[in-house]
Amino acid sequence: MSSIPSQTQRILEFAVRLAQEAGRITLEHFGKAPAAETKGDGTPVTAADRAAEAFLRQRIEAQYPQHGILGEEYGESRPGASIRWILDPIDGTRSFLRGVPLFAVLLGVEIEGWPSVGVAHFPALGETLAAGRGLGCWWNGRPARVSEVSQLRHAAVLTTDPVLLLEEPLRGGWERLAREAGLVRTWGDAYGHALVATGRAEVMVDPVLSPWDAAPFLPILSEAGGRFTDLGGQERLDGRSGLSTNGWLHPQVLELLAP
């Protein structure tokens, strides 16, 4: 790496600090039975989600006033900017509400439309996964790498809510995949994608995903040697679904899941 940090590297380092600072805000509320409201889309939100996103936006706007921001709780600012931050202040709000530590602060940064930086920070676990295009993927400062498992019968397959996969047209594909897998577990939300990127699981399937749920995982999986696509096999953040694998298993999983 050159001694002059690239733009991507500077943004990555800033994003890691921000995610960890926002994580501290979430921990002030975690385990204290925070009150939740239900949003228009039926998902819960707490004062912690709003405080963490407000903090992130204020810090990004102070540092990079020309950058755009898309956040789950406060929407889009400066649409059309060449660099766009995509924020999920708390991914796994349902875990957070129940005192389960598998929630994350997610930050993704698109540069000229290309997902280039990703940070997934798990405040209650003390885990940070961070990647920049061409800069590698790092897990608490050590290189993160997907597993080498190339057979589904040895693979751990994860999802968030299996009920969603038992609806048509996904049901048949999910049943085929689950039958062939060595292990199926619901270590879901962002943590499922993080487990794949760090070689602790091989496949994470989520049929319902927004751009802020997906944003960090395109750079994270590709820099860790794996793949992140939607369930149609496209590398995109707005495909409304997500599939992370260690790369070896990606074609087979897409084929099995195809309706």
Residue 151: contacted member of Ca ion, ligand IPD, none (CB under 5 to 8 Å, by partner type): none
Rule CB under 6 A: which residues touch ligand IPD?
A: 43, 88, 91-93, 160, 188-189, 206, 208-209, 213
User: Please, what is the angle between helix 250-257 and helix 171-180, to 10°?
Assistant: 140
Rule CB under 5 A: which residues touch Ca ion?
A: 72, 88, 90-91, 213
88/230 with CB nearer ligand IPD: 88
CA distances for 106 relative to 120, 173, 185, 192, 243, angstroms: 5, 29, 22, 13, 17
Residue 34: contacted member of ligand IPD, Ca ion, none (CB under 5 to 8 Å, by partner type): none
Closest distance to Ca ion from the beta carbon of 120 (Å): 11
Closest distance to Ca ion from the beta carbon of 3 (Å): 37
Residue 206: contacted member of ligand IPD, Ca ion, none (CB under 5 to 8 Å, by partner type): ligand IPD
43/234 with CB nearer ligand IPD: 43
Residue 160: contacted member of Ca ion, ligand IPD, none (CB under 5 to 8 Å, by partner type): ligand IPD
Task: Note the maximum CA span of the chain.
Answer: 53
Closest distance to ligand IPD from the beta carbon of 213 (Å): 4
91/202 with CB nearer ligand IPD: 91
93/116 with CB nearer ligand IPD: 93
135/209 with CB nearer ligand IPD: 209
